[in-house]
Amino acid sequence: MSIGRTEFTSGLRVVTERMPGVRSVALGFWVLAGSRDEPPPISGSSHFLEHLLFKGTKTRSARDIAEAFDAVGGEVNAFTAKEYTAFYARVRDRDVPMAVDHLSDMLQHSVLRSADLEAERQVILEEINQHEDDPDDLVHDLFTETLWPGHPLGRPILGTKQSIRGAGRDQVRRFYRKHYVPGNVVVVAAGNLRHESLLDLVAERMDPGSVRAQGPSAWNLRAAGDAPSPSGRSLVKKRKTEQAHICIGTSGLSRTDPDRFALGVVNTALGGGMSSRLFQEIREKRGLAYSVYSYHAMYAEAGVFCAYAGTTPGRAKEVLALMRAELEDVANKGLGPDEFERAKGHMKGSLVLSLEDPGGRMSRIGKSEIGHGEILTVNQLLGRIEAVTAEDAARAAERVLSQPMTVTVLGPFSSKDAIA
């Protein structure tokens, strides 16, 4: 892996990984602004802004932007997360100048017209309607809201219908001007390009200042606040669905916690594949669910550890009891030798396979740089996973899974008694 990294005096960073064996480039502009940064009255404004930046700049219309990428067979898109927003493209190596030109223009010179804001307001309200009609997605938002009530990390990325209806152009513009500044931006590329070539393109289009050789840095790294405590609450949301959608979990570990790799092994053994405990016990052995898994999401000061299953409403109580029993067993006893080694192998293989294409590598670099300010090589990551011991995994499991559990259930139930 050959990583190039340059910081400009404005704080803007450019990071690249050259992959000479491919003919394409994945390019991303990562901004340190996500849903947790929003004032509660305009919850969802990060995602709102993501939409609006595609609506046109001082010199380009929305159609101009779309036609430019379509004309070269490229892809352009964006997504909003709780702690950052990313605008990205994938193009042939020869079309990188066009992609940098358009994405940098969108980030710096979007006009945020009132008419576009009103049109996108309706689009996002429909997106929220669609999200609420998809219980597989909705139950996870309900889970984080119940786990961390009132905390910025507990808010839904899309916002609410009330906040989207109330978001004004001036409020969105203030958010844009506050957060879309050079010190919050990382330009990342992976594929068939040279680091110096991207530096020249960025310098021409973004006026980032001179290259910083030494001295204090101007770029921003999110400071970790106090970790929110898990509520231990339960929520049953009545909805006419064919399945009961169940989440059970608690607060996980932050992205800088020394035990994060150990907890990754625990998560993989519990619900990370077809040989995992939850999959084998609930789906293979008992046939109670089609979809069952667990995950661990990490943020600056805390994480989310959650197990999910979708089942027939009449079996919801049984499935929840099985999920709770597996979590408690791992918290109390740790992992067996075979499942421990299998989980480590799964993590290492999945990591390597996820980096076979430029898009996967660009995404890994972007998340690492904007979240940590450093990038571990693949070999370093593999080494961190390999170094996890059974005792490390047992300690991480006990730390996390012995906390109060939060439960959310979405389905045709009228009260908590239906699943208690």
Question: Catalytic residues, which ones?
Answer: 50
Count of CB atoms situated within 10 Å of the CB of 56: 21
Q: Which of 158, 149, 141 is nearest to 228 (CA)?
A: 149
Q: Is 14 helix (H, G, I), strand (E, B) or coil?
A: strand
10 Å CB burial of residue 173 (0-12, 13-18, 19+) is middle
Q: Is 51 helix (H, G, I), strand (E, B) or coil?
A: helix
Q: Is 98:91 a contact under the CB 8 Å cutoff?
A: yes
CA gap 41, 35 in Å, rounded = 12
CA gap 267, 393 in Å, rounded = 10
262 contacts: CB under 8 Å, gap ≥ 6: 388, 392, 393, 395, 396
Distance of CA 402 to the CA centre of its chain: 25
Phi and psi angles of residue 201, each rounded to the nearest 5 degrees, phi first: -65, -45
Give residue 358's identity as a one-letter amino acid code. Answer: P
Count of CB atoms situated within 10 Å of the CB of 360: 15
Q: Is 222 helix (H, G, I), strand (E, B) or coil?
A: coil
CA gap 164, 55 in Å, rounded = 17
CA gap 293, 87 in Å, rounded = 29
Which residue do the tokens 């480039």 mark? 25
CA gap 46, 159 in Å, rounded = 9
Q: How many residues does the chain have?
A: 420
Q: Which of 79, 31, 300 is nearest to 186 (CA)?
A: 31
